[in-house]
Amino acid sequence: MTDVTTGQTCSAATALRTEVEMSNERHRILEDAISPFVETVDGYFPRPWFTRHDPMDCTLLLVGASSAKSFPAGDLQKSDLMNALFNRAGTSCCDLYQRFVASPSPSRQNLDRAIQVLEDAGWRVMKTNVTCASAALDSQISPEARRNGTELFKAVMNHVPWRAMVIFGSGAAKRFRRITGVEMPPMADADAQPIAGLLGGKPFFVIPTLAYPGYRSSVWRCVSRCVSALDDLDLAKPNNGECRPNIQRAGPALSPRQPLQRPAPIVLLVGTDTALQAAARGLDLLLADHPELELRSGSSQISLWAPLQRRLFRIKRQGSRVDLLIHRDILAYCEIARDHFDMAPHKNTDFLRLFSDDTSAVKALLNRIRQCLDRVDLASI
């Protein structure tokens, strides 16, 4: 009995050491990724993030344009900044901020409120910026600081194991689009269900600014609606290693064109429009049957793509009707669908389209197509 207990104790100790070693390695990879860009530019240190948590435990990025408060290089050593970012040597991001800022600005108070709302919903929030650089106004950031700050944001986005993102402000959204190349969803409205964009299969929302002078109190309704939408995806809780980067090899920047590993329900991405939801449910089922397909989300449309970069379906709202676009090769396997529905040519002759505000017609069409495609290798189309 003693030998068994001793063996179990040794196994537990070994597992704990392995976990600690892996945690240290993940932190080292993240630190190595950001370190080349955490150098003084224009007399200031860039600020990669602000969080109350271990950066490798953060599940949601709250992304702005840039930071207003700066950390002067003459009053700070790089080692002190890195220690604060990783909660080492008895210091933290909060400690460092309080060191250089006498009292929180109205924008900081808004950010703290937004972070609290998100964390009350179970998220561990990291505040960062598409340009990790500081100036009183975003327009005052120098070209050199912007280039460096953009690369720093890419390193953060690529190595922190975030599961969702909330971008605030039109300026941040425009720069985010330029950096990632992803199509942006419409900015969340205070009185409507928000529509998510997708980056590497992970959802993100765009909300109005939290910063002055553009801040409006209606943004809090947008934040609440985004929290509700994210709750439906159930991504807040960390999932033991699934959200961690590979410690053997740092992965490339997340691309919106990579196949989805955890696709968000398409129906969530189209809001409350009943006709669009009918089409979305059909595509959801098709995606579940054919995981080789890729889901892409734009500002006004949702589409499914085959692995060989060929779009097979697209749905969007066109006036008062749903525009359902279908590749002719798909309909070749389902002649009965083309015979029973009024399909019109598209300007791209590879496609046919169905305009409909009849949810039952949309459901019926996609159901018939899905049944016909059950034995078809869509990867070869």
- pLDDT score at 22: 72
pLDDT in tens, the chain (381 residues): 556 566 656 665 665 566 667 778 889 999 999 999 999 999 999 999 999 999 999 999 999 999 998 999 999 999 999 999 999 989 999 999 999 887 788 899 999 999 999 999 999 999 999 999 999 888 899 999 999 999 999 999 999 999 999 999 999 999 999 999 888 888 998 888 888 888 888 899 999 999 998 999 999 999 999 998 888 777 766 553 344 333 222 233 333 333 334 445 677 777 677 778 888 888 888 888 777 788 887 656 788 888 766 788 888 887 778 888 888 888 877 777 766 777 888 888 888 888 887 778 788 888 888 888 776 767 666
On whether the CB atoms of residues 146 and 133 are closer than 8 A, the answer is: yes
- pLDDT score at 239: 52
DSSP-derived letter for residue 138 is: G
- pLDDT score at 320: 76
Helix (H, G, I), strand (E, B), or coil: what is residue 261?
coil
- pLDDT score at 217: 92
* The two three-digit tokens of residue 299, written as one number: 């500002």
- pLDDT score at 19: 66
- pLDDT score at 256: 36
d(C-alpha 84, C-alpha 363), whole Å: 54
Cα radius of gyration (the chain)? 24
